[in-house]
Amino acid sequence: MKVKNILISQNAPVDFAKSPYAELTKKYSVNIDFYKFFKFEAISSAEFRQSKVNILNHTAIIFSSQVAIDYFFQLAQDMRIEIPETMKYFCPTENIAHYLQRYIQFRKRKIFFPKNNTPAGIFELFSKNTELSYLIPCSSESQGSKYAEYFEENGISYSNAVVFKSIPAEVSNDIDITKYDMLVFFSPVGVQSLKKNFPFFKQNENIAIGALGAAVTQALEMEGFTVNVKAPTKEAPSITSAIDLFLKDNATKRR
Please say if the pLDDT value at position 111 is more than 80: yes
Can you tell me the mean pLDDT for 228-237?
93
Question: What would the pLDDT profile of 19-44 be if each residue is shown by its tens digit?
Answer: 999 999 999 999 999 999 999 999 99
Highest mean pLDDT among 98-107, 138-147, 190-199: 190-199
Can you tell me the mean pLDDT for 45-66?
95
Q: Are 217 and 211 in contact (CB under 8 A)?
A: yes
Cβ within 8 Å of residue 9, ≥6 positions away: 35, 36, 37, 38, 183, 184, 185, 186, 190, 193, 194
3-state secondary structure of 62: strand
Can you tell me the mean pLDDT for 53-70?
96
Q: How long is the chain?
A: 255
Helical residues (DSSP H) of the chain, grouped into ranges: 20-28, 45-50, 66-78, 94-99, 119-127, 145-153, 188-197, 214-222, 239-250
Question: What would the pLDDT profile of 239-249 be if each residue is shown by its tens digit?
Answer: 999 999 999 98
Instruction: Check residue 109 and give its pLDDT.
Output: 67
Instruction: Check residue 50 and give its pLDDT.
Output: 95
Question: What would the pLDDT profile of 156-168 be if each residue is shown by its tens digit?
Answer: 999 999 999 989 9
Instruction: Check residue 186 and give its pLDDT.
Output: 93
Q: Are 190 and 39 in contact (CB under 8 A)?
A: no
Look at 144 and 191; give whichever has higher pLDDT.
Answer: 191
Question: What would the pLDDT profile of 205-225 be if each residue is shown by its tens digit?
Answer: 999 999 998 889 999 999 999
Q: What percent of the chain has pLDDT over 90?
A: 82
Alpha-carbon distances, residue 12 vs 22, 35, 214 (angstroms): 11, 8, 22
Q: Which pLDDT band holds residue 252 (cuts at 50, 70, 90)?
A: confident
pTM equals 0.76
Instruction: Check residue 140 and give its pLDDT.
Output: 83
Please say if the pLDDT value at position 108 is more than 70: no
Can you tell me the mean pLDDT for 9-19?
91
Instruction: Check residue 223 and give its pLDDT.
Output: 96
Instruction: Check residue 141 and give its pLDDT.
Output: 78
